[in-house]
Amino acid sequence: MHCVSVKPGVDCSFMTKKGCSFNGGRCRPVVANCEGCERIIDFEGSRFCASFPDPAVKWRRGNCNLATHVKSDKSNGNSAKINPLKASKRAAAGR
């Protein structure tokens, strides 16, 4: 549905027929960590996240999983732990 409280006309997944169902009934503006993200919407002088109504919560425990400007630190190298027992069995089997 389209927002009628803070961002009139913008699609929002939290809007219902009774109004905004988000805690407090209003979207919160973006925080400094969100700068550079492609999901930011400029609306009447304020900046909001298009995907989440309270961006500060997403950054509370680390990086936001919806941020488009942050790359994950996961590497695809051989850093995964290998069970030594299984490794020895594979070596003995010739794999």
In tens, the pLDDT along 24-79 reads 777 788 888 888 888 888 877 888 887 888 888 888 888 888 788 877 666 555 56
For residue 3, pLDDT over 60 is answered with yes
- SS3 of 58-74: the string is HCCCCCCCCCCCCCCCC
Give the pLDDT confidence score for residue 43 in this predicted structure.
75
Please, which residues have CB within 8 angstroms of residue 1's CB and are 6 or more apart in sequence? Answer: 11, 12, 15, 16, 17
Q: In sequence order, which ranges of the chain are alpha helices (DSSP H)?
A: 55-58, 84-93
For residue 4, pLDDT over 70 is answered with no
Q: How many residues does the chain have?
A: 95
Query: Nearest CA to 16 among 33, 35, 2?
Result: 2
Give the pLDDT confidence score for residue 8 in this predicted structure.
65
